[in-house]
Structure 1
Amino acid sequence: MPSTKPYEDYDVCVVGLGYVGVTLAAALLSTGRSVLGYEINPKAADELARGVLDLAEPGVEEQIKAKAASGAFAVTTDIGERKLPPVVVICVGTPIEAGGTTPDLSHLRAATEALAPGIDETTLVIVRSTVPVGTSRGLVLPILDRRIPEPLIAYCPERTIQGQALAELLSLPQIVGGLSDEAGKRAGEFFGTLTEQVVPVASLESAELVKLVCNCHTDLIYGFGNEVALITEKLGLDAREVIDAANLGYPRPTLHKPGFVGGSCLTKDPYLLAHSVAAYDHTPQVITAARALNESMPRRVGERVLGALWEQGRDPAEARILISGFAYKGRPETDDLRGAPYERLLPFLKGRVKEIVGHDFVVPDARIEALGVRAVDLTEGFTGVHAAVLLNDHPGYGDIDAAGLVARMADPALVYDTWRVLPPSTKAMRLGRA
């Protein structure tokens, strides 16, 4: 509901109610805090004010709906110059510029400028958006400094995983870096009531880097699994056999299985880190190489599918293809399309095949249709198609009659099971298998 009380009477203001902001708001509400949300998208703000979420995240909608009804949660599209709550958390998006690799910090700048008139020397401003190292000091501080000589600023990164964000917000250690000792102390106290362990670091910059290196490391280990897949493909070996054998009972870092790397963080943060050190004449070569490799995998899959169609005597231009699994991952379940492999596969296939139909266990049909793909259920999707590509590992694949669905396909009935979710008896192409 819209706020009916002074903004300053809320415990905290969450600026930006996208994925990061709304999950944080739900976590705060679950601990008994009152939350004022600031969201400039009128449609999203109106829906959230009524407790309506277009988000598949366990427990979040329940918290928002219940606390919106009770008045503990309210949303505004205009904070004006009204005094804000004692804690303000910035959760706006920091995307990469379209078609490039440069961070777009315009949302962060606009949010900081909007909240600046409503703070005073006692307001704690926490930056939670993922940013290049130095952004809190170099962008946020100068804006707030024009309002308050010594603003209280802390950087406290979000590190949750889609599908279990609420549980992780209430359990994962929270990194805290303050501009001053007082800012760090207050940020630690704030998050200390949300999670059991707070990890203080020496500066804003250290905290910013923690988030980036966490995600870049994940991208890197996934990239190594994909490198193994490409090597075994050339050698005529099975990547999963090699990786599983290497891991079994061996007390060293676990090798990750090959697969797609998606989501808003892993596909973006390597570029934020590279941007952070570009001015210091340094390129993080291993990180950038892993990102390039991971970005190439969807197109490689598309090339293999088209090549296999040709080998089996089917002109791809006359072929119908099913893409199943538009969400960037299947486990934990999510409807998040950001950074999903379809983003690179779909443009590659369009114009090269006759028709593409789409399916996902979680993503609504309307969102698939908006991508220019006819949405179908799995039975219709397999019926009459010449190739099917499974892009994520949703547990729903374990409940299907794979043999029955494949029997509905048209020759050559190619199935590319990128995550090996179908029974081994299913004749399917797989990542890292010749």
Structure 2
Amino acid sequence: MNAQEGQTETTQVQHPLRVAIIGGGGHVGLPFGLALCDCGHTVTLVDLNEAQLDTIRSGQMPFQEINADQLLPRVLESGRLHCSTSFTALSEQDVIIVTIGTPVDEYLDPSLRAFDQVMEDVFQHCRPGQLLIIRSTVFPGVTQRLGRLVAERDLQIDVSYCPERIAQGRALLELTQLPQLVSGCTPQAAQRAASFFSDFGQEVIELSPVEAELGKLFTNSYRYINFAISNQFYMLAQRYEADFDRIYHAITYKYPRMNGFARAGFAGGPCLLKDTMQLASFNHNLLTLGQTAMAVNEGLPGFIVERLKKNHDLTGLTVGILGMGFKGNCDDPRSSLSYKLRKVLTLECRRVLCTDPFIDSSDFVSLETIQQESDILILGACHDEYRSLQTTKPLIDVFGFTTRQEP
């Protein structure tokens, strides 16, 4: 894919395969399936969400993804994209790809029950000679454990772990740009996975399964901890009544050693916190930075409200939250800290109003209403619609999005 939005560059594979993607209606599986179809493979999206599949069959994307609105109708018309709620279709495939989410439990430990159940269903319908690719984020050791089960049952399939590393909403732009980490429980599995992604047009980096598992967890944990550093600095600047954005601009301007310094803001979403906690679990507290990062990032909404209370009697005020997605220009509310902010504000304010141009909710109001009826506004997500927002109301913008100075 071309780096410029709206442009795509398709790689046509020489040997088309039949591919099934489990969790194929989701944010990881669906864009991957579209890209595979576009380069010549035949793809079956296997997902238990029938309503989601019906939306896909109609040619409509169930969520926002750059370039997907144009690509989905094209691959449907080609006849290469199919949808199914049944695992029986797996026996007809050459490659099975698993993209289901792997949640953490109430103790923030990895919850493997759902993953194990899916894999049992896969084993019931797979056939010898298939390549099984796990793209879900898993706890270190899960892939090798899966390989042992396959060997014990003499299923004669090749098991590989190839984590996805795309940014949600930009998958089709990044799938053929980013190097692909591949691994296998056997040398043959690793070689087949490398060949699959190479034919797809990706540069391949081969690792052992545990190295690939750790590589994915390291990536998301690094980002989460990076955000925590910036949020901690933001809180310190606030206590000194200093302008964090001015400091940020000053110390990053033409100073390459600060290129990795993230901006402050809500660090939410379905992956960063979860993956950091997976890495910390069962590791004898070796990742104490992870627990500290969670305390900082998850504590930011409460910190904002406490700062507001110093200068305002919130009990008689209406506060409006602009943006409820977990990040800017995104329609996904999962693990968005805007909802935690709303919960904290509900205990302190007369009324809390929310708006979002991408998320349809009966609880939300229009941007016009929230501007008219709120006494204070708080930016919850950096949607482009808010960048040039004109308001006479106090606006709390932790991200520095609306007044951003670029180095």
Fold match, TM over 0.5? yes
The residue that corresponds to 2:51 in the other structure is 43
Q: How many angstroms apart in 2 are the aligned matches of 1:327 and 1:196?
A: 30
Query: Can you list the C-alpha shifts for 1:350-384, whole angstroms capped at 9, x where unaligned?
Result: 243222221113222x3xx3xxx3x2222211113
- SS state of the match for residue 236, structure 1? coil
The one-letter amino acid paired with 1:273 is L
- SS state of the match for residue 88, structure 2? coil
Asked if the contact 2:44/2:83 (under 8 Å) is kept, the reply is yes
Unpaired stretches in structure 1, ≥5 consecutive residues: 1-8, 311-315, 407-412, 425-434
Q: How many angstroms apart in 2 are the aligned matches of 1:288 and 1:199?
A: 30
1:337 matches 2:333: yes
Asked if the contact 2:280/2:288 (under 8 Å) is kept, the reply is no
The residue that corresponds to 1:4 in the other structure is none
* Pairwise CA distance, 1:385: 1.6
1:293 matches 2:301: no
The one-letter amino acid paired with 2:101 is G
My pick for the range that moved more, 264-273 or 226-235, is: 226-235
Asked if the contact 2:388/2:402 (under 8 Å) is kept, the reply is no
Distance 1:47 1:10, change over 3 A: farther
- SS state of the match for residue 327, structure 1? coil
The residue that corresponds to 1:430 in the other structure is none
Following TM superposition, where does structure 1 have runs of at least 4 consecutive aligned residues deviating by more than 4 angstroms?
none
The residue that corresponds to 1:320 in the other structure is 318
- SS state of the match for residue 83, structure 1? helix
Asked if the contact 1:387/1:414 (under 8 Å) is kept, the reply is yes
The one-letter amino acid paired with 2:129 is T
Asked if the contact 2:90/2:96 (under 8 Å) is kept, the reply is no
Unpaired stretches in structure 2, ≥5 consecutive residues: 1-15
The residue that corresponds to 1:376 in the other structure is 365
The residue that corresponds to 1:211 in the other structure is 216
The residue that corresponds to 1:192 in the other structure is 198
Query: Can you list the C-alpha shifts for 1:100-121, whole angstroms capped at 9, x where unaligned?
Result: 3022223321221111123233
Question: In the alignment, which of 126, 130, 135 is matched to residue 128 of structure 1?
Answer: 135
How many positions carry a matched residue from both structures?
Answer: 387
* Pairwise CA distance, 1:179: 0.6
1:245 matches 2:241: no
* Pairwise CA distance, 1:165: 1.1
The residue that corresponds to 1:417 in the other structure is 397
- SS state of the match for residue 183, structure 2? strand
Query: Can you list the C-alpha shifts for 1:319-364, whole angstroms capped at 9, x where unaligned?
Result: 222111111111xx21121221113112212243222221113222
My pick for the range that moved more, 83-92 or 413-422, is: 413-422
- SS state of the match for residue 353, structure 2? strand
Matches within 5 A, 1:19-418: 19-80=27-88, 83-97=91-105, 99-138=106-145, 140-201=146-207, 203-254=208-259, 255-275=261-281, 278=282, 280-310=283-313, 316-330=314-328, 333-364=329-360, 366=361, 369=362, 373=363, 375-400=364-389, 402=390, 405-406=391-392, 413-418=393-398
* Pairwise CA distance, 1:423: 4.6
- SS state of the match for residue 80, structure 1? helix
Q: How many angstroms apart in 2 are the aligned matches of 1:177 and 1:183?
A: 8
Q: How many angstroms apart in 2 are the aligned matches of 1:274 and 1:257?
A: 24
* Pairwise CA distance, 1:214: 0.7
The one-letter amino acid paired with 2:262 is H
Compute the RMSD of aligned alpha carbons.
Answer: 2.1
